[in-house]
Amino acid sequence: MKKDLLAELVIKQLKKSGKTLSVAESITGGGLGAALTSIPGASEVFLGGVIAYSDTSKFKILEVAKSILTKKSAVSEEAAKAMAESVRIKFKSDYAISTTGVAGPGKAYGQKAGTVWIGIASKKEVVAVALNLNGDRGEIRNATIESAFATFSRIIAP
């Protein structure tokens, strides 16, 4: 429920500002796009997204540098930033959100479940936020979606 309210807030903010959004998702597996497109009128501001779940898709589709994926890993600040900037450019959107992390139940990329990075890109800057979440796989994924929308909403607030 909370993610739906946050998605609605994001859509309203984008409409008010006349800006557009795209997403690059890994850990959330399409959850950002699904939440956004559940809001009537989202098509006015939401241009689309890429689910780049594997490192191969991050490299081939989003063109995340191999050096980032091998030296830093797909679950890193650098990967989150690269994913957000790439999808923003590909969709020619004003903003982009990316999500990458470990949903669990076990470790991946040498990091514990709940390790998450959210990237936010605009034409002016690209930032990333680290999260350390608790819960089962579903709870971590939902908390990532909520956190991504809440972070984005704060960044673009007038």
DSSP letters spanning the chain: -HHHHHHHHHHHHHHHHT--EEEEESTTTTHHHHHHHTSTTGGGTEEEEEE--SHHHHHHTS---HHIIIII-SSSHHHHHHHHHHHHHHHT-SEEEEEEE--SSS-BTTB-TTEEEEEEEESS-EEEEEEE--S-HHHHHHHHHHHHHHHHHHHH--
Q: Which pLDDT tens digit goes with each residue over 94-150? A: 999 999 999 999 999 999 999 999 999 999 999 999 999 999 999 999 999 999 999
pLDDT of residue 157: 85
* Domains of the chain, first to last: 2-156 (3.90.950.20)
In the structure, what pLDDT confidence band is assigned to residue 158 with cuts at 50, 70 and 90? confident
Instruction: Tell me: pLDDT of 81 over 80.
Output: yes
Average model confidence (pLDDT) for the chain? 97
